[in-house]
Structure 1
Amino acid sequence: MSALATLTRRLGHHRWFGAAARLLVPADRIVGRLTRGRVVALGVLPSLVITTTGRRSGKPRSNPLLYVTDGDAYVVIGSNWGQTHQPGWAMNLLADPAAEVDVKGRRFAVRADPASGAERDRLWQLLVTEWPAYRTYVERAGGREIRIFRLVPTGRGAPAGPPSAG
Protein backbone atom coordinates (compact mmCIF):
# COMPACT_ATOMS: atom_id res chain seq x y z
CA MET A 1 0.00 0.00 0.00
CA SER A 2 1.34 3.42 -0.93
CA ALA A 3 2.05 6.09 1.67
CA LEU A 4 -0.68 8.23 0.10
CA ALA A 5 -3.24 5.41 0.42
CA THR A 6 -2.24 4.87 4.07
CA LEU A 7 -2.57 8.59 4.81
CA THR A 8 -5.94 8.77 3.00
CA ARG A 9 -7.28 5.84 5.06
CA ARG A 10 -6.24 7.61 8.29
CA LEU A 11 -7.75 10.94 7.26
CA GLY A 12 -10.99 9.29 6.12
CA HIS A 13 -12.26 9.14 9.72
CA HIS A 14 -12.34 12.94 10.07
CA ARG A 15 -15.60 14.78 9.41
CA TRP A 16 -13.80 17.47 7.37
CA PHE A 17 -12.45 14.76 5.04
CA GLY A 18 -15.96 13.64 4.08
CA ALA A 19 -17.03 17.25 3.51
CA ALA A 20 -13.97 17.96 1.36
CA ALA A 21 -14.39 14.71 -0.55
CA ARG A 22 -18.04 15.52 -1.34
CA LEU A 23 -16.85 18.81 -2.85
CA LEU A 24 -14.32 16.93 -5.00
CA VAL A 25 -16.82 14.39 -6.39
CA PRO A 26 -17.74 16.59 -9.40
CA ALA A 27 -14.04 16.94 -10.28
CA ASP A 28 -13.57 13.19 -9.79
CA ARG A 29 -16.44 12.55 -12.23
CA ILE A 30 -14.75 14.77 -14.83
CA VAL A 31 -11.36 13.08 -14.39
CA GLY A 32 -13.04 9.68 -14.62
CA ARG A 33 -14.86 10.68 -17.80
CA LEU A 34 -11.72 12.18 -19.40
CA THR A 35 -9.65 9.09 -18.58
CA ARG A 36 -12.50 6.73 -19.50
CA GLY A 37 -12.59 5.37 -15.97
CA ARG A 38 -8.86 4.69 -15.72
CA VAL A 39 -8.30 7.29 -12.97
CA VAL A 40 -10.90 7.73 -10.25
CA ALA A 41 -10.33 8.86 -6.63
CA LEU A 42 -6.98 10.19 -7.84
CA GLY A 43 -5.87 6.60 -8.41
CA VAL A 44 -5.26 6.16 -4.67
CA LEU A 45 -7.99 3.61 -3.88
CA PRO A 46 -9.72 0.93 -5.98
CA SER A 47 -12.53 2.93 -7.56
CA LEU A 48 -15.11 2.62 -10.29
CA VAL A 49 -17.69 4.91 -11.84
CA ILE A 50 -21.25 3.62 -11.65
CA THR A 51 -23.96 4.91 -13.96
CA THR A 52 -27.50 4.38 -12.72
CA THR A 53 -30.84 5.52 -14.12
CA GLY A 54 -32.38 8.36 -12.12
CA ARG A 55 -35.48 6.99 -10.41
CA ARG A 56 -37.41 10.24 -10.98
CA SER A 57 -35.68 11.82 -13.97
CA GLY A 58 -34.95 8.66 -15.98
CA LYS A 59 -31.59 10.25 -16.89
CA PRO A 60 -28.19 8.57 -16.48
CA ARG A 61 -26.41 9.50 -13.23
CA SER A 62 -22.70 8.73 -12.75
CA ASN A 63 -20.84 8.54 -9.44
CA PRO A 64 -17.31 7.49 -8.49
CA LEU A 65 -17.25 4.81 -5.78
CA LEU A 66 -14.68 2.83 -3.87
CA TYR A 67 -15.08 -0.91 -4.40
CA VAL A 68 -13.82 -4.28 -3.23
CA THR A 69 -14.08 -7.51 -5.15
CA ASP A 70 -16.03 -10.61 -4.23
CA GLY A 71 -15.57 -13.41 -6.73
CA ASP A 72 -16.67 -12.01 -10.09
CA ALA A 73 -18.56 -9.11 -8.50
CA TYR A 74 -17.72 -5.59 -7.36
CA VAL A 75 -18.97 -4.60 -3.91
CA VAL A 76 -19.95 -0.98 -3.18
CA ILE A 77 -21.52 0.72 -0.19
CA GLY A 78 -23.95 3.64 0.05
CA SER A 79 -22.16 5.34 2.93
CA ASN A 80 -22.73 8.88 1.63
CA TRP A 81 -19.68 9.93 3.69
CA GLY A 82 -21.64 9.34 6.90
CA GLN A 83 -24.59 11.59 6.13
CA THR A 84 -27.96 10.64 7.59
CA HIS A 85 -29.59 10.03 4.19
CA GLN A 86 -28.96 7.45 1.49
CA PRO A 87 -27.06 8.57 -1.61
CA GLY A 88 -29.13 9.05 -4.75
CA TRP A 89 -27.27 6.33 -6.68
CA ALA A 90 -28.23 3.73 -4.04
CA MET A 91 -31.88 4.76 -4.22
CA ASN A 92 -31.66 4.55 -8.02
CA LEU A 93 -30.34 0.97 -7.77
CA LEU A 94 -33.21 0.00 -5.49
CA ALA A 95 -35.65 1.31 -8.10
CA ASP A 96 -33.76 -0.26 -11.06
CA PRO A 97 -30.88 -2.68 -10.35
CA ALA A 98 -29.52 -2.46 -13.92
CA ALA A 99 -26.46 -0.20 -14.16
CA GLU A 100 -23.14 0.23 -15.92
CA VAL A 101 -19.70 0.55 -14.43
CA ASP A 102 -16.36 1.85 -15.67
CA VAL A 103 -13.47 0.02 -14.08
CA LYS A 104 -9.96 0.83 -15.27
CA GLY A 105 -11.25 1.99 -18.62
CA ARG A 106 -13.59 -0.96 -19.22
CA ARG A 107 -17.32 -0.22 -19.35
CA PHE A 108 -19.85 -3.01 -18.85
CA ALA A 109 -23.34 -3.74 -17.58
CA VAL A 110 -24.00 -4.95 -14.04
CA ARG A 111 -26.97 -6.01 -11.92
CA ALA A 112 -26.99 -4.60 -8.39
CA ASP A 113 -27.95 -7.14 -5.75
CA PRO A 114 -28.59 -5.61 -2.30
CA ALA A 115 -26.83 -7.61 0.40
CA SER A 116 -28.56 -8.72 3.59
CA GLY A 117 -28.07 -11.04 6.54
CA ALA A 118 -24.89 -13.09 6.74
CA GLU A 119 -23.84 -12.08 3.23
CA ARG A 120 -24.05 -8.40 4.20
CA ASP A 121 -21.95 -9.07 7.32
CA ARG A 122 -19.30 -10.84 5.24
CA LEU A 123 -19.19 -8.06 2.63
CA TRP A 124 -19.08 -5.40 5.38
CA GLN A 125 -15.85 -6.98 6.64
CA LEU A 126 -14.33 -6.81 3.15
CA LEU A 127 -15.32 -3.15 2.84
CA VAL A 128 -13.99 -1.99 6.24
CA THR A 129 -10.73 -3.80 5.56
CA GLU A 130 -10.30 -1.60 2.47
CA TRP A 131 -11.74 1.60 4.03
CA PRO A 132 -11.86 1.48 7.87
CA ALA A 133 -13.61 4.88 7.97
CA TYR A 134 -16.89 3.14 7.03
CA ARG A 135 -17.24 2.32 10.74
CA THR A 136 -17.01 6.03 11.52
CA TYR A 137 -19.58 6.78 8.80
CA VAL A 138 -22.11 4.45 10.46
CA GLU A 139 -21.66 6.31 13.77
CA ARG A 140 -22.02 9.67 12.01
CA ALA A 141 -25.16 8.51 10.22
CA GLY A 142 -26.82 7.84 13.56
CA GLY A 143 -26.50 4.07 13.21
CA ARG A 144 -28.73 3.89 10.10
CA GLU A 145 -28.15 0.80 8.02
CA ILE A 146 -25.88 1.60 5.14
CA ARG A 147 -26.78 -0.33 2.00
CA ILE A 148 -24.27 -2.68 0.44
CA PHE A 149 -24.58 -3.88 -3.15
CA ARG A 150 -22.88 -6.67 -5.10
CA LEU A 151 -22.51 -5.48 -8.68
CA VAL A 152 -22.60 -8.62 -10.80
CA PRO A 153 -21.38 -8.24 -14.41
CA THR A 154 -23.98 -9.17 -17.02
CA GLY A 155 -24.05 -9.55 -20.78
CA ARG A 156 -21.70 -8.07 -23.33
CA GLY A 157 -18.59 -6.26 -22.27
CA ALA A 158 -18.42 -8.02 -18.89
CA PRO A 159 -14.86 -8.95 -17.93
CA ALA A 160 -13.89 -12.60 -18.11
CA GLY A 161 -12.74 -14.02 -14.79
CA PRO A 162 -12.55 -12.39 -11.38
CA PRO A 163 -12.02 -8.61 -11.23
CA SER A 164 -8.83 -7.18 -9.82
CA ALA A 165 -8.99 -4.50 -7.13
CA GLY A 166 -6.97 -1.30 -7.32
Structure 2
Amino acid sequence: MDGEDEVLESPTGWVATHVRRYAASEGERGHIWYGKPTLLLTTRGRTSGALRRTGLIYGEDGGGYVVVGSNGGSDAHPHWYLNLLAEPQVRVQVAAERFEAVAREADGAERDRLWEAMTVIFPQYKGYRKKTDRRIPVVVLEPKRG
Protein backbone atom coordinates (compact mmCIF):
# COMPACT_ATOMS: atom_id res chain seq x y z
CA MET A 1 0.00 0.00 0.00
CA ASP A 2 1.36 3.39 -0.95
CA GLY A 3 1.80 5.48 2.18
CA GLU A 4 1.60 8.75 0.27
CA ASP A 5 -2.05 8.50 -0.76
CA GLU A 6 -4.67 10.51 1.12
CA VAL A 7 -6.69 8.35 3.50
CA LEU A 8 -10.44 8.91 3.61
CA GLU A 9 -12.35 8.34 6.84
CA SER A 10 -15.65 6.53 7.19
CA PRO A 11 -18.68 8.49 5.95
CA THR A 12 -20.41 7.55 9.23
CA GLY A 13 -19.93 10.55 11.52
CA TRP A 14 -19.27 8.84 14.86
CA VAL A 15 -16.90 6.34 13.22
CA ALA A 16 -14.95 9.15 11.51
CA THR A 17 -14.67 11.03 14.82
CA HIS A 18 -13.40 7.91 16.58
CA VAL A 19 -10.87 7.18 13.83
CA ARG A 20 -9.53 10.77 13.77
CA ARG A 21 -9.06 10.80 17.56
CA TYR A 22 -7.39 7.38 17.46
CA ALA A 23 -4.96 8.32 14.67
CA ALA A 24 -4.13 11.76 16.05
CA SER A 25 -3.36 10.42 19.54
CA GLU A 26 -1.38 7.34 18.42
CA GLY A 27 -4.17 5.22 19.86
CA GLU A 28 -4.18 6.79 23.33
CA ARG A 29 -7.70 8.08 22.67
CA GLY A 30 -9.63 5.36 20.92
CA HIS A 31 -7.70 2.11 21.20
CA ILE A 32 -10.03 1.14 24.02
CA TRP A 33 -13.52 2.22 22.97
CA TYR A 34 -16.30 1.73 25.53
CA GLY A 35 -14.15 -0.96 27.12
CA LYS A 36 -13.50 -2.81 23.83
CA PRO A 37 -10.15 -2.99 22.00
CA THR A 38 -10.26 -1.36 18.57
CA LEU A 39 -7.87 -1.11 15.67
CA LEU A 40 -7.78 1.03 12.56
CA LEU A 41 -8.06 -0.81 9.25
CA THR A 42 -7.13 0.86 5.98
CA THR A 43 -8.28 -0.78 2.75
CA ARG A 44 -8.07 0.28 -0.88
CA GLY A 45 -11.49 1.08 -2.36
CA ARG A 46 -12.43 -1.61 -4.87
CA THR A 47 -13.94 0.87 -7.34
CA SER A 48 -12.42 4.24 -6.39
CA GLY A 49 -8.89 3.05 -5.62
CA ALA A 50 -8.87 5.47 -2.66
CA LEU A 51 -7.51 4.45 0.73
CA ARG A 52 -10.32 4.13 3.27
CA ARG A 53 -9.93 3.82 7.03
CA THR A 54 -12.33 2.58 9.66
CA GLY A 55 -12.23 1.51 13.29
CA LEU A 56 -13.11 -2.05 14.28
CA ILE A 57 -13.33 -4.08 17.48
CA TYR A 58 -10.69 -6.80 17.40
CA GLY A 59 -9.46 -9.96 19.03
CA GLU A 60 -6.08 -11.63 18.81
CA ASP A 61 -5.26 -15.12 17.64
CA GLY A 62 -1.90 -16.73 16.92
CA GLY A 63 -0.10 -13.47 16.18
CA GLY A 64 -2.93 -12.15 13.99
CA TYR A 65 -5.86 -9.87 14.63
CA VAL A 66 -9.50 -10.88 14.17
CA VAL A 67 -12.30 -8.55 13.06
CA VAL A 68 -15.96 -9.18 12.26
CA GLY A 69 -17.85 -7.83 9.24
CA SER A 70 -21.12 -7.41 11.14
CA ASN A 71 -22.23 -4.05 9.72
CA GLY A 72 -24.58 -3.87 12.70
CA GLY A 73 -26.52 -6.87 11.45
CA SER A 74 -27.35 -5.24 8.13
CA ASP A 75 -28.16 -7.45 5.15
CA ALA A 76 -25.24 -5.84 3.29
CA HIS A 77 -21.56 -6.54 3.92
CA PRO A 78 -19.54 -3.56 5.17
CA HIS A 79 -17.57 -1.73 2.48
CA TRP A 80 -14.24 -2.45 4.18
CA TYR A 81 -14.90 -6.18 3.84
CA LEU A 82 -15.80 -5.91 0.15
CA ASN A 83 -12.66 -3.81 -0.36
CA LEU A 84 -10.34 -6.38 1.20
CA LEU A 85 -11.89 -9.16 -0.89
CA ALA A 86 -10.73 -7.22 -3.94
CA GLU A 87 -7.36 -6.27 -2.39
CA PRO A 88 -6.29 -8.23 0.72
CA GLN A 89 -3.17 -6.09 1.31
CA VAL A 90 -4.21 -3.77 4.13
CA ARG A 91 -2.75 -1.36 6.64
CA VAL A 92 -3.48 -1.77 10.36
CA GLN A 93 -2.92 0.36 13.45
CA VAL A 94 -3.23 -1.20 16.91
CA ALA A 95 -2.70 1.49 19.55
CA ALA A 96 0.53 3.21 18.37
CA GLU A 97 1.78 0.28 16.29
CA ARG A 98 1.29 0.50 12.52
CA PHE A 99 1.95 -2.36 10.11
CA GLU A 100 1.04 -3.90 6.77
CA ALA A 101 -1.06 -7.07 6.86
CA VAL A 102 -2.77 -9.56 4.61
CA ALA A 103 -6.47 -10.13 5.22
CA ARG A 104 -8.16 -13.48 4.81
CA GLU A 105 -11.59 -14.75 5.69
CA ALA A 106 -11.70 -17.50 8.31
CA ASP A 107 -13.70 -20.59 7.39
CA GLY A 108 -14.84 -23.89 8.87
CA ALA A 109 -13.78 -24.78 12.40
CA GLU A 110 -11.41 -21.80 12.57
CA ARG A 111 -14.27 -19.43 11.78
CA ASP A 112 -16.52 -21.06 14.37
CA ARG A 113 -13.82 -20.81 17.06
CA LEU A 114 -13.01 -17.18 16.21
CA TRP A 115 -16.69 -16.22 16.02
CA GLU A 116 -17.21 -17.53 19.54
CA ALA A 117 -14.13 -15.69 20.80
CA MET A 118 -15.35 -12.44 19.24
CA THR A 119 -18.82 -12.79 20.80
CA VAL A 120 -17.11 -12.93 24.19
CA ILE A 121 -15.40 -9.61 23.41
CA PHE A 122 -18.54 -8.05 21.88
CA PRO A 123 -21.72 -9.99 22.76
CA GLN A 124 -23.83 -7.79 20.46
CA TYR A 125 -22.53 -9.85 17.51
CA LYS A 126 -24.93 -12.63 18.53
CA GLY A 127 -27.86 -10.26 18.14
CA TYR A 128 -26.54 -8.97 14.83
CA ARG A 129 -26.47 -12.53 13.50
CA LYS A 130 -30.19 -12.87 14.27
CA LYS A 131 -31.00 -9.71 12.29
CA THR A 132 -29.70 -10.98 8.95
CA ASP A 133 -29.62 -14.10 6.79
CA ARG A 134 -26.14 -13.04 5.62
CA ARG A 135 -23.23 -15.09 6.92
CA ILE A 136 -21.29 -12.52 8.89
CA PRO A 137 -17.63 -12.76 7.90
CA VAL A 138 -14.82 -13.28 10.38
CA VAL A 139 -11.55 -11.90 9.03
CA VAL A 140 -7.99 -12.57 10.15
CA LEU A 141 -5.41 -9.82 9.60
CA GLU A 142 -2.00 -11.44 9.42
CA PRO A 143 0.87 -8.99 9.91
CA LYS A 144 3.55 -9.12 7.22
CA ARG A 145 6.77 -10.26 8.77
CA GLY A 146 9.78 -9.00 7.13
Category of TM-score, reference length = shorter chain: 0.7 to 0.9
Q: Which residue of 1 aligns with 2:41?
A: 50
Distance 2:138 2:27 in 1: 22
For normalisation by structure 1, the TM-score amounts to 0.76
Structure with the larger strand share: 2
Q: Report Cα offsets for 1:116-157 as digits up to 9, x if no partner.
A: 1111101101100111110101111x231011111000045x
Match for 1:25: what amino acid?
V
Distance 2:55 2:90 in 1: 13
Structure with the larger helix share: 1
Aligned with 2:24 (options 34, 41, 44): 34
Q: Secondary structure at the match of 1:57?
A: coil
Return 5+ residue gaps in structure 1 as ranges: 1-21, 157-166
Shift of residue 97, structure 1, vs aligned partner = 0.6
Which runs of at least 4 in structure 1 moved beyond 4 Å after TM superposition?
Answer: none
Q: Which residue of 2 aligns with 1:144?
A: 134
Q: Which residue of 1 aligns with 2:71?
A: 80
Alignment of structure 1 residues 1-166 onto 2, 5 Å: 23-40=13-30, 42=33, 44-140=35-131, 142-156=132-146
Q: Which residue of 2 aligns with 1:159?
A: none
Q: Secondary structure at the match of 2:49?
A: coil
Q: Secondary structure at the match of 1:46?
A: strand
RMSD: 1.4
For normalisation by structure 2, the TM-score amounts to 0.86
Return 5+ residue gaps in structure 2 as ranges: 1-11
Count the aligned residue pairs: 134
